[in-house]
């Protein structure tokens, strides 16, 4: 059990998960380098917690700014124990009609921002010989297939793959990683920060259905303050999984997806193996499942 205070470096601290996590860490007695595009939005935290919180301006798409923000935190507190890549956003539109500029800008924040901060943190964590990097993904970064979120979910898949490689590369340095995969949470993720473009008629059944759900308030059951408390407890208890689903809906989606993956890989196992030199070839293709009989 960790007894000394940790120093957290949290991106996107002004609202949502980032704000909840900064507050939970401070309540636990830790120090927080709270970053945001507009650090004045963190004035109330600084007023309440004084010297234990350092508000810093950071646009995560700026690699130089990421270096400077981490350096400011190190100068203030002497070490960085937990790096949290939380900053991100999503716009909603079909891949076909999303402008290339919008698709790239989302990816710049949701993936390249994670890359910039993670890469800037590595020399500090290596020198310490310890540290935790928490990457906020989503259950969509595991199961995908949400119509209208092409750029966002592509970035979250990339974050997971990137983090798996980092974990393998830096294992000898005492750096550990946690990929957080929330389901629906009561944050403003789908609020004013989400741009919903005009949805063509042919995409009303898929992308339009999600747009209607989000406009109607959605079905978000997750409590971001509880999620933040769970993460702080994990860090203090030193009991860290590689991935953590948050919310019962996320768990159900992930388990259904994983069972489907196993069933599909098993059904096609003989075909897959036949690609190897010396293996039996050709082999019969699996029989497709029968469509339900209408009654």
One of 77, 115, 156, 177 is an active-site residue; which one?
156
| Residue of 93, 137, 138, 151 with catalytic role | 137
Q: Would you list the DSSP string of the chain?
A: ---SPPEEEESSTTSHHHHHHHHHHHHTT-EEEEEESSGGGGHHHHHHHGGGEEEEE--TT-HHHHHHHHHHHHHHHS---EEEE------BB-TTTS-HHHHHHHHIIIIIHHHHHHHHHHHHHHHHT-EEEEEE--THHHH---TTBHHHHHHHHHHHHHHHHHHHHTGGGTEEEEEEEE-SBSSSTTTTT--BPPPPGGGIIIIIHHHHHHHTTTT--B-HHHHHHHHHHHHHHT---SEEEESHHHHHHHHHHHHHHHHHHHHTHHHHHTTSTTS--S-PPPPPPPPPPP-
Residue 76 annotated to the active site: no
Active site residue 156: yes
Catalytic option among 49, 77, 115, 152: 152
Whether 93 is catalytic: no
Q: Which residues are designated catalytic?
A: 137, 152, 156
């Amino acid at each position: 059990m960790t007894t000394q205070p940790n120093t957290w470096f949290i991106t996107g601290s002004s609202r949502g998960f980032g704000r909840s996590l900064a507050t939970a860490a401070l309540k636990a007695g830790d120090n927080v380098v709270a970053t945001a595009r507009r650090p004045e939005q963190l004035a109330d935290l600084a007023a309440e917690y004084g010297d234990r919180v350092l508000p810093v301006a950071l646009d995560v798409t700026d690699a130089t700014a990421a270096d400077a923000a981490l350096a400011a935190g190190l100068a203030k507190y002497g070490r960085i124990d937990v790096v949290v890549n939380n900053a991100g956003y999503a716009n909603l539109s079909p891949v076909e009609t999303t402008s290339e500029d919008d698709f790239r800008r989302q990816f710049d924040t949701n993936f390249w921002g994670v890359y910039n901060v993670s890469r800037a943190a590595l020399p500090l964590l290596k020198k310490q010989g310890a540290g935790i990097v928490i990457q906020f993904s989503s259950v969509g970064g595991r199961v995908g297939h949400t119509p209208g979120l092409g750029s966002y979910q592509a970035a979250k898949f990339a974050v997971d793959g990137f983090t798996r490689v980092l974990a393998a590369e830096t294992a000898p340095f005492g750096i550990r990683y946690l990929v957080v995969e929330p389901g629906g949470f009561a944050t403003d993720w789908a609020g004013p920060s989400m741009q919903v473009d005009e949805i063509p008629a042919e995409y009303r059944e898929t992308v339009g259905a999600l747009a209607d759900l989000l406009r109607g308030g959605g079905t978000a059951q997750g409590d971001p303050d509880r999620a933040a408390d769970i993460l702080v407890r994990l860090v203090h208890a030193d009991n860290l999984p590689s991935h953590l689903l948050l919310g019962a809906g996320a768990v159900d989606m992930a388990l259904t997806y994983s069972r489907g993956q196993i069933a599909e890989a098993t059904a096609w196992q003989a075909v897959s193996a036949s690609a190897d030199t010396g293996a039996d070839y050709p082999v019969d293709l699996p029989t497709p499942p029968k469509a339900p009989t209408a009654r």
